[in-house]
Amino acid sequence: MRNAFLKVSILGAIMAFSASASRALPLNVPQPAPLDFKPPLGERVELPNGMIVYLLEDPSLPAVRINAVVRTGTINDPADKVGLGALTAGMLEDGGSASYKPEEIDKTLEYLGATINSSIDLEDASVSMFALEKDFDKVLDIYADVLMNPAFDAEKFNILKKMELEMIRRRNDDPGKSVTREALRYYYGKDHPYGRRNEAATIEGITINDLKVHHSAYYIPNNIIMAVSGRFGSKEELLTKLNQRFGKWEKREIKAPQVPPPALAGTRRIYFIEKDVPQAFVMLVWKGVKRSDQELFFPLNTTNDVLGAPGLSSRLWDTVRARKGLAYTVYSYISRKNAHPGHMFAYCGTKPETYSQAMEEILRQIKRVKTEPLSEKELSDAKDSRINSFVFTFKTPFDVVNQRASLEHYGLPKDYLETYVSNVSKVTRDSAFSAASAMFDPDNALIFVIGNSKKFDKPLSEFGPVTELKED
């Protein structure tokens, strides 16, 4: 037994010495070659009625995916019918079509393991489908009829309106979401398309005829970019099927309203909602860039990755959460818009007893990127992270064509994906610092806070004039 113990001890000493020696010696690890990933091009085809199709075959699975990107969004809602776009999109999914009752669609899709979904965002809408290869023709028939000839079933419409009214009634249940919504509402203006929210009065006033008018205005072939991928046979076979379903859908003139420029204040504004919740929720918002401003976006985005990209390596995460333990969630983000400059923001949820320390640190870090260049290591790590993660944007061929459809919708350069890596690589300390100096603006940020002021460690007024609002 003693000999066995001695052998183990000697072996342990040898292993410890070997490990120590290996740490002392430099590792001769070859440097990886620069990423040279070029996503597949796919093919772009324009149908006679003006509908654009991006297609890319994917023989890996016996299935087909389609997504129709529609050039519309909630920004096109009339001022007295805010919520119209969302209700229209919801009824495309649930309201049936000219040839298929809602229940028939639900049963057929469930039986086939297929899906048809619709959604809408601020500046885009989409209607998508998934079907197995053997069921593609059947599901495409339903999908085309839903997209072109929605029935807007009255019973389903009433259900959807009630659901939306209930969501409005409960919209303040989550203060973390409320602070984001309300900060943007007061930043852009309560009546501006970028800042509006659905209200009970506008939802209740929307009729089925309003849905029909809205659908007729925006859901038209020359206002749609479609992405198709899967095992659909040859290009000619696919285009034949699409023309059979969509060929008689006539193009029309598009009359989308112009989005007016928001009237942005040039000084710091602080808004506060008193709410007895365990955390204080803080959002800082300031002016951003347009989606088309590529020259400014890449260096600005690299700086923001260093400042507050979600993850373990950003300055906000390191200081506010890891070192000071002031917040569980903290990050910053750049939100671009098409018609006008978007916004940049920083967000955190923190203890009310230390909210001021969290906010002071966030303001300090925003000011730091504005006044001090990034270190070479920070710049290099941020660029490497973004470049190396680029390939994971395209997990499937469908991701590729769907990206290309979205990029065309947003008016970005045709070679955006091909030049993405080089554009990130070209960011320098000087270009990043120049962009940050011009765009990061903590002194004129709108600050929105929701929390229990009785527990605050400092009065909110120490950060500037405060406007207290009632939750509604």
For the stretch 40-81, pLDDT in tens is 888 999 999 999 999 999 999 999 999 999 999 999 999 999
pLDDT of residue 428: 98
Task: Please determine, for residue 22, whether its predicted confidence score (pLDDT) is greater than 60.
Answer: no
Q: Would you place residue 313 in the very low, low, confident or very high pLDDT band (cuts 50, 70, 90)?
A: confident
Domain shared by 89 and 209, yes or no: yes
- Supply the mean pLDDT for the chain: 92
Q: Would you place residue 15 in the very low, low, confident or very high pLDDT band (cuts 50, 70, 90)?
A: very low
311 burial type by CB count under 10 A (0-12 exposed, 13-18 middle, 19+ buried): exposed
Q: Please report whether residue 35 resides in a domain.
A: no
Domain shared by 238 and 315, yes or no: no
Q: Would you place residue 3 in the very low, low, confident or very high pLDDT band (cuts 50, 70, 90)?
A: very low
Query: Cα(347)–Cα(337) distance, rounded to whole angstroms?
Result: 19
Host domain of residue 188:
43-246
pLDDT of residue 392: 86
Domain finish residue from 189, 215, 246: 246
Q: Please report whether residue 447 resides in a domain.
A: yes
pLDDT of residue 5: 38
Domain finish residue from 246, 281, 313: 246
Domain shared by 325 and 375, yes or no: yes
**What CATH number should be reported for the domain holding residue 177?**
3.30.830.10
Q: Please report whether residue 28 resides in a domain.
A: no
As a whole number, mean pLDDT of residues 311-326 equals 92
Average the pLDDT over each of 135-144, 183-192, 393-402 and give the range with the smallest value.
393-402
pLDDT of residue 31: 57
pLDDT of residue 265: 86
Domain shared by 227 and 316, yes or no: no
Task: Please determine, for residue 192, whether its predicted confidence score (pLDDT) is greater than 60.
Answer: yes
Q: Would you place residue 30 in the very low, low, confident or very high pLDDT band (cuts 50, 70, 90)?
A: low
Q: Please report whether residue 440 resides in a domain.
A: yes
pLDDT of residue 35: 57
Task: Please determine, for residue 10, whether its predicted confidence score (pLDDT) is greater than 70.
Answer: no
- Chain-centre distance for alpha carbon 106: 28
Query: Cα(87)–Cα(89) distance, rounded to whole angstroms?
Result: 5
Percent of the chain residues past pLDDT 90, beyond the cut: 88
Q: Please report whether residue 251 resides in a domain.
A: no
Domain shared by 294 and 200, yes or no: no
Per the model's pLDDT, the better-predicted residue between 374 and 20 turns out to be 374
DSSP, residue by residue, 384-405: HHHHHHHGGG-SSHHHHHHHHH
Q: Would you place residue 29 in the very low, low, confident or very high pLDDT band (cuts 50, 70, 90)?
A: low
Domain shared by 169 and 287, yes or no: no
Task: Please determine, for residue 398, whether its predicted confidence score (pLDDT) is greater than 60.
Answer: yes
Domain shared by 67 and 211, yes or no: yes
| C-alpha dihedral sign at 300, 302, 306, 309 | positive
Domain shared by 329 and 223, yes or no: no
Domain shared by 221 and 282, yes or no: no
Total Cβ atoms within 10 A of residue 138:
14
Average the pLDDT over each of 9-23, 182-196, 214-228, 314-328 and give the range with the smallest value.
9-23
Q: Please report whether residue 427 resides in a domain.
A: yes
Average the pLDDT over each of 20-24, 59-63, 148-152, 376-380 and give the range with the smallest value.
20-24
As a whole number, mean pLDDT of residues 434-461 equals 97
Instruction: Using only the alpha carbons of the chain, give its radius of gyration.
Output: 27
CA angle, residues 448, 450, 452, in degrees to nearest 5? 140
Dihedral angle at the C-alpha atoms of 50, 54, 60, 64, nearest 10 degrees? -30
Domain shared by 195 and 123, yes or no: yes
Domain shared by 422 and 375, yes or no: yes
pLDDT of residue 245: 97
User: How many structural domains are present in the chain?
Assistant: 2
Domain finish residue from 192, 213, 246: 246
Task: Please determine, for residue 169, whether its predicted confidence score (pLDDT) is greater than 60.
Answer: yes
Q: Are 299 and 432 in contact (CB under 8 A)?
A: yes
Task: Please determine, for residue 448, whether its predicted confidence score (pLDDT) is greater than 90.
Answer: yes
Domain shared by 51 and 167, yes or no: yes
For the stretch 226-279, pLDDT in tens is 999 999 999 999 999 999 999 999 999 999 999 999 999 889 999 999 999 999
Q: Please report whether residue 316 resides in a domain.
A: yes
Q: Please report whether residue 260 resides in a domain.
A: no
Alpha helices by DSSP H, listed for 294-354, are 294-308, 315-316
Which residues, 6 or more positions from 410, have their beta carbon under 8 angstroms from its beta carbon? 123, 124, 291, 338
Please provide residue 329's backbone torsions phi and psi, each rounded to the nearest 5 degrees.
Answer: -120, 125
Specify the amino acid at residue 441: D
For the stretch 196-206, pLDDT in tens is 999 999 999 99
112 burial type by CB count under 10 A (0-12 exposed, 13-18 middle, 19+ buried): middle
Query: Cα(227)–Cα(240) distance, rounded to whole angstroms?
Result: 16
